[in-house]
Amino acid sequence: MRRRLVFGVFVGVLLLFSLVGSVVAAEKTYELKVSMVITQDDTIYKGYEKFKEGVEARTNGKIQVELYPGGVLGRDEEMLEQAVLGAGVCVNTDAGRLGVWVPEIGILLCPYLVDSVEEMQKLLKSDLPKEWFEKLRKEQGLVVLAFNWYAGARHFLTKKPIQKPEDLEGLKIRTPGAPVWQETIRALGATPVALPWTEVYPALQQGVIDGAEAQHPATYGSKLYEVAKYITRTGHIQLWNAPVVGDKWFSQLPEEYQKILFEEAEKAGDYATSLLLET
């Protein structure tokens, strides 16, 4: 009789602790800082506003999303490192930078890879990129929430007109430091110079570089037209962005919240893409 009583008390205590643990988990709040180098005028930023709205509404404020445009938190590469270590950060990044972690992903940034937005959307929804993203999570600890954020076609922005490929020879053109980006610019005849996006304006102004390449929303958001007068519409790279978080932070979330982040990132990406295509 005593053994049964003790066993019953023991089970009751376990159930009580389980219940308390569930209540604590339900009451816990999480903070997610979204880092991006683009400005608030960019359609990608508008997408993150939609992401913030959806996540906070569906989690009843248990996940608080804070947006940090203009690169104020640091360079993408630095923020990805922090994400891997477990920080509550989400990095707006691209296939070039993720290709440093898993080289196959860099293929998605290859020049003239597809002929239309629709073709790229089909590619991104295929099984092959999903395998690469899963590899990124298992081997590097980074989780791609969605990869459907269209940022636009990349064009050359220079101080002198570019009328033929030979005109690029000898020009120092700013690019991100990712290999696929550097080799693309080199193949087009220019000399790639890796610089953070936030340093492009002063570098053009001071003559450190002769030009840059970027999508129109980023170019106008950073007012690069003030220091470089010519745009050559090459469309050599179709840039797609992705919100990426660290697996250490992501895995601690309740499964319901993980699902919400995936779903809201996908919705917001579609929204940002539609905004850009309508302009």
Domains, the chain, in order of start with CATH, read 29-150+240-278 (3.40.190.170), 152-238 (3.40.190.10)
d(CA 48, CA 124): 20
Residuewise pLDDT in 10s, the chain (279 residues): 445 544 444 444 444 444 444 444 557 999 999 999 999 999 999 999 999 999 999 999 999 999 999 999 999 999 999 999 999 999 999 999 999 999 999 999 999 999 999 999 999 999 999 999 999 999 999 999 999 999 999 999 999 999 998 999 999 999 998 898 999 999 999 999 999 999 999 999 999 999 999 999 999 999 999 999 999 999 999 999 999 999 999 999 999 999 999 999 999 999 999 999 998
Q: Tell me which long-range contacts 131-139 makes (C-beta under 8 A, separation of at least 24).
A: 132/102, 132/104, 132/105, 133/105, 135/102, 135/104, 136/98, 136/101, 136/102, 136/105, 137/247, 139/102
3-state SS assignment for residue 156: strand
Pair 86, 249: CB distance under 8 Å = yes
Pair 2, 43: CB distance under 8 Å = no
3-state SS assignment for residue 146: coil
Strand 89-94 versus strand 230-246 pairing type: antiparallel
Pair 268, 50: CB distance under 8 Å = yes
Sign of the alpha-carbon dihedral angle for 237, 138, 267, 26: negative
Query: What is the signed CA dihedral for 94, 73, 197, 121, rounded to 10 degrees?
Result: 20
pLDDT at 4: 52
pTM: 0.87
